[in-house]
Amino acid sequence: MTATDVLVERNRTWSTAQAPSDLSLRPRLQVAIVTCMDSRLDLFDVLGLAPGEAHVLRNAGGVVTDDVVRSLAISQRKLGTREVVLVHHTDCGMQTITDDGFRAELQADSGVSPSFAIETFTDLDEDVAQSVRRVRRSAFLLYPEAVRGFVHDVATHELREVDVPGRSGDRRARTLSPVRLAAS
């Protein structure tokens, strides 16, 4: 039995016990979260999320790549989100490798140098700040200034915000009205 078989079996058991869902396509909290693929990070637990509340985008490191910007642009322009939350974390696998080392490994094994950036990092807070700046500088988002970055401690479960001073006089800063939550 493969891991995939295990998951399919788990779904069979779980799905039969669920009531039909009528959740909206548009996230109720109007927020998109970008985070790492780390298996210890359960964003639904960490942030008290429920299905239907947020877009969750994940990759190795929670890096704001072009593809993440693509998803954020769709999220904001077509599906109504207005804020971005970045969650990086302690003990990240991306701190254990280097760009040059991994690139050399891929090239040695395949004969091809990858066209993508590896995006490893050593300084966690600086990596969060870098991601915040990439969101702020994106030309494709409706709310580029509405972004905050955090470090999640995988040992204590706490979330710590990283202060990233903004540029003054940003031309596209918009005022956000508070999100309206339906009583639950």
Q: Which residue positions form the known binding site? A: 36, 38, 89, 92
Q: Which of 36, 69 has the CB closer to Zn ion?
A: 36
Residue ranges binding Zn ion (CB under 5 A): 36, 38, 92
The minimum distance between CB 42 and Zn ion, in angstroms, equals 13
Q: Which of 38, 127 has the CB closer to Zn ion?
A: 38
- DSSP for 13-67 reads HHHHTSPPP---SS-TT-EEEEEE--TT--HHHHTT--TTSEEEEEETT----HH
Q: Which of 29, 132 has the CB closer to Zn ion?
A: 132
The minimum distance between CB 124 and Zn ion, in angstroms, equals 10
Q: Return the H-helix or E-strand segment holding 152.
A: strand 147-152
The minimum distance between CB 38 and Zn ion, in angstroms, equals 4
Q: Which of 36, 84 has the CB closer to Zn ion?
A: 36
User: 105 — alpha (psi -120 to 50), left (phi > 0) or beta?
Assistant: alpha
SS3 1: coil
Amino acid at 28: R
- DSSP for 56-86 reads EEEETT----HHHHHHHHHHHHHS---EEEE
The minimum distance between CB 183 and Zn ion, in angstroms, equals 36
- Could you list the residues known to form a binding site for Zn(2+), using ranges: 36, 38, 89, 92
